[in-house]
Structure 1
Amino acid sequence: MLAENLDVAAKQIRLHTLKELRALGFGHFGGSLSIVEALAVIYGKHLAVDPQKPEDANRDYFVLSKGHGGPALYATLFLKGFFAEDELYTLNQNGTRLPSHPDRNLTPGVEMTTGSLGQGISVAGGIAFGNMLAGRENYTYAIVGDGELNEGQCWEAFQFIGHHRLDRMIVLIDDNKKQLDGLTADIIDPLDLEAKMAAFGFRTVTVDGASTQAIDEAIQTAKRSSGKPYAIVLDTVKGQGVTHIEEKADNHHLRPDDGDKQAIDDAILALENDLEGVAQ
C-alpha cells in the first residue's frame, strides 16, 4: 500500500522501480527515477482514483506522456492496488501486462498508451477539454519530459490547453537536463521553460523535483487557481535518488554491468532498511 507520508511513498516507489528493473536486467532507469517524487505526490495525495472503480467518470486522470518512465508508474500502480507485486517482475516480458512503455489496453490504471513522444500530452489536453465540456470538476495531470519537448506536437498541445483555459489541467515537466543521446541544452536547448509555458497561457512555477513538499505545495497552489492551466517545472536529476546512476553520463537506458548491479543492489538494500519498521 502506498504510504500516506509522501517521503515514505517516494522511497516505496523508488525501491520497487529498482527491483523490477534489476530483475529484468535492463531498462529506463534514469527517466523513471527522476519522476518518483512527482508520482508519490500525485498518487499519494491528489489523484482521485479508485482501483475498484477505474472507469468512474468523475475520476481524476493521469497521463505519463514520457512513456519510458513506465517502470516508475507500474511501481506506483502496484502500491495503489491495481495489481499484485508479482506482476512487477513480468516487466517487458512475453505475455506481460507491463510492457516497457504503458499500454492502456493492457495495464490496469493506465489511461493512455504512451512512448511516442508528444502524444500523451495531446491526449491529456483532450481529456481535460472533454471533462470541461461535460461539466465535470475532476483534474487531469500529465508528466512530460524535457527531452520530449523537442516534439513540436507538445507545443501544439500546450497552445490548445492554454487557449481553452483548461484550469483543471496540471502539467509537470521533468526537467532532468538529459535525453536519449545527450544533454538537452546541447541537443535543443529548452531555454526558459517557465517563460515559454507562460507565453502559451499557463501559470507557471519551478520547484525542486526531489522535494515532495515543494511538489505538493505547487499542486495545491495550482488547484486553488482558476482561469488558466498550470505548469510545474520539476528541477530534477536523471537517475534521481541513486548516486551511482545520477553520475553516469549515459543513464537514459541502462544494461547494468557488474559495477552498476552492485550499486543498484546497495540502493535496494538501503531503501529496504529505511522502510523497515516505518509506518506505511
Structure 2
Amino acid sequence: MNISVIGAGQMGAGIAQVFAVAGHRVSLVDISQDALDRGLAAIHKSLGRVLKKERITQAEMDGALANVSLHSDLGAGVANAELVIEAATENVDLKLKIFSDLSRLAPAAAPLASNTSSISITRIAAATDRPEKVIGMHFMNPVPIMKLVEVIRGYATDDATTKLVMDLSESLGKVPVEVKDYPGFVANRILMPMLNEAMNTLWEGVAGVSEIDTVMKLGMAHPMGPLQLADYIGLDTCLAILRVMQDGFGRGHYQPCPLLVNMVMAGKLGRKSGEGFYDYSGGGKELVVSKSFA
C-alpha cells in the first residue's frame, strides 16, 4: 500500500517506520529538507537499535529503509497515496491548511488521516472535499514501541474509512480503539489534566520535580513521572492540547499552569530543546533537575 506521511518530526518518522517495516511504500513529506534528513536518520537509528537486539535482520532493516522515499513537495509526496497520514505540529491553522491542500493534491479515493492528539476531526474534515474520508489516527509516542492507536470518527466519517484504519492498525501490530470526536479524545483528556496538576503542584511549592515524579512512579506504579513525561511529549505540545480542551469544554480545570506557559515562552520545551523540568544537555540517561522551581 502507498502511504504518505506529512511531517518528518518525531511522530511522523515513527509512523513512517512502522509502515515501512510492515512492507508498505512510504512517502515521507516535509517542507524542510533538513527535517526530512533528520527524520530518515531517526528511522535509521531506531531500526539500528532493533537490529542490535536481534528483533530484525540486516536484510529486513535494509528493506524497510528502501521503502521510505523523501519529498519536500506536497503534491509529489501524495500523488500516488492510498492513505495520507498528517503528523504536523499540533496547530489548528496549520492542519486546516494541510488538509485543504490535500483535497486538491491527493487522489480522490485516498482517505485522509490526522495524527492530531486533541483537535476536532470534524473541524479538520470541513476543510476538505471528502469529509467522509477524514479520520483521526492518533499513534502514541514512541510509535514503534507503543501499541495503542486512537481511531477518531468525525461527524461525517464513513464506515469504510473507519474499517480501513482499524484493520490497517491491527496489521501493524497495534491495538486500535475507536473513540468519539471530542477535545482531547480519551488519552489526552485524561492524561493532560494530570500532567497539568503535577505542574501546579510544583508551581505552588508543594514538592520538587524529582519528589513529584517519585511519588507517582512509586505510589501509582507509573513507569515515568508526570513531569518527565511532559518533557518527553514536549511542553509546547502539552500547552497546545490543554488550550484546545479549555476552548472546547470551557472548563477551568483545563487552564494551563502558569509555570507551563512561562516555560514554553522561554523556549524550555523539554527533551526536544535540551531543557524542561529536567536538563538533557549532558546526553546521559540520568535525570538532572534543570533548576529550582521554588
Kindly indicate whether structure 1 or structure 2 has the higher relative contact order, using CA contacts under 8 Å at least 6 residues apart. Answer: 1
TM above 0.5: no
If you compute each CA radius of gyration, which structure gives the higher value, 1 or 2? 2
Q: Using structure 2 for the length normalisation, give the TM-score.
A: 0.38
